[in-house]
């Protein structure tokens, strides 16, 4: 992609930080398309546990990148970046502003800078390997990656699976490929939303809201329709809830484990942002509530000049 004169507007931050609400408000005020950079919200039917925008919110603001994949599809950062670039180009040709919002750091990186190519994977061997990897806990999977591709060992389950697949099926390390320096193909301005210590409280409240909204019933419906090895089950908390539903138990017993897993995911995201996002085009936003909205509005208008 050739460099365009106007940089992309990207709002990111750890899960539960409030970035989606800010992006929605800005998009509605400025008539923008919202492009989701969330590796969990791409899957159809997995709604409540991924904190997907509601139907009412999508009616207020046009979205791209939501509900674009079947639950058993596997999406790479490169695939998402190609689609996102197309959605963005279509909106820009129509004269519509674009706001990219999400917390999947590798996807965002793939959008603004090219990734080194990964050798193609043999799909039959990949399917056979997937059956073995699905049986491993995330802790066990992480131990594999610590040996096979240490630089990737701190990531989430989907990225750990990808690292093992590439290492075993191609003989190369994904981390080595991603480390290849490349010039940016699209300039970007970043707003990193992170409320600091209050994030923990926000995550607990959001988890309770998900349960109240019917997360258990959603998973019960999905169990009958989506195979257990489907990629969508890797979304944070879904496998734990699925296990309880299949066993006929209430999900109350796993909510603490889901809370801890979500907190760890947010910690990994924060680490990525801290190390990957630097420079004058990066603004950090720690306010919450009305103060956060006012600051985000000022940032959008000042940076857009």
SS3 (DSSP) at 11: strand
For the beta sheet containing 282-285, the strands, ordered from the edge strand earlier in sequence to the opposite edge, are 63-64, 33-36, 98-101, 8-12, 188-193, 282-285
Q: Indicate the domain borders of the chain.
A: 8-115+186-303, 123-178
pLDDT band at 139 (very low <50, low <70, confident <90, very high): confident
The domain 8-115+186-303 having CATH identifier 3.40.50.300: the answer here is: yes
How far is Cα 303 from Cα 187, in angstroms, rounded to an integer? 13
Phi and psi torsions of 101, nearest 5°: -140, 130
pLDDT digits (tens, 9 = 90+) for 99-135: 999 999 989 988 998 666 667 788 888 888 888 888 8
Cite the DSSP H helix spans in the chain.
19-30, 55-60, 77-93, 105-112, 123-134, 138-148, 157-170, 174-178, 199-212, 215-225, 238-246, 255-276, 289-303
Which one, of 176, 198, 164, lies nearest residue 288 by Cα?
A: 198
pLDDT band at 23 (very low <50, low <70, confident <90, very high): very high
Establish whether domains 8-115+186-303 and 123-178 are of one fold. Answer: no
pLDDT digits (tens, 9 = 90+) for 148-192: 888 777 777 888 888 888 888 887 777 666 655 444 578 899 999
pLDDT of 3 above 50: no
Q: Hey, what CATH topology would domain 123-178 get?
A: Histone, subunit A (1.10.20)
């Amino acid at each position: 992609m050739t460099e365009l004169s106007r940089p992309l507007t990207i709002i990111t931050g750890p899960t539960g930080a409030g970035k989606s609400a800010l992006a929605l408000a800005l998009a509605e005020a400025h008539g923008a398309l919202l492009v989701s950079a969330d590796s969990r919200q791409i899957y159809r039917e997995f709604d409540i546990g991924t904190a997907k925008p509601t139907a009412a919110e999508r009616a207020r603001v046009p979205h791209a990148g939501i509900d674009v994949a079947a639950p058993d599809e596997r999406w790479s950062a490169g695939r998402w970046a190609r689609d996102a670039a197309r959605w963005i180009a279509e909106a820009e040709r129509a004269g519509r502003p674009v706001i990219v919002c999400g917390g999947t750091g590798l996807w965002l990186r793939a959008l603004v800078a090219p990734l080194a190519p990964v050798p193609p994977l043999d799909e039959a061997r990949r399917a056979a390997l997937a059956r073995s990897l699905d049986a491993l806990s995330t802790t066990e999977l992480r131990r594999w990656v610590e040996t096979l591709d240490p630089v990737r060992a701190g990531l989430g389950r989907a990225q750990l699976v990808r690292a093992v697949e590439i290492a075993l099926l191609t003989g190369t390390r994904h981390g080595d490929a991603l480390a290849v320096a490349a010039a940016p193909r699209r300039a970007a301005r970043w707003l990193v939303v992170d409320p600091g210590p209050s994030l923990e409280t926000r995550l607990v409240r959001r988890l309770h809201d998900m349960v109240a909204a019917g997360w258990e019933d959603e998973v019960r419906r999905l169990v009958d329709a989506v195979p257990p090895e489907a990629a969508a089950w890797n979304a944070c908390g879904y496998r734990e809830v699925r296990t309880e539903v299949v066993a006929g138990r209430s999900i109350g017993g796993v909510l603490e484990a889901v809370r801890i897993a979500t907190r760890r995911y947010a910690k990994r995201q924060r680490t990525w942002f801290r190390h990957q996002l630097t420079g004058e085009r990066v603004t950090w936003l720690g306010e919450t509530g009305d103060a956060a909205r006012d600051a985000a509005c000022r940032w959008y208008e000042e940076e857009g000049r």
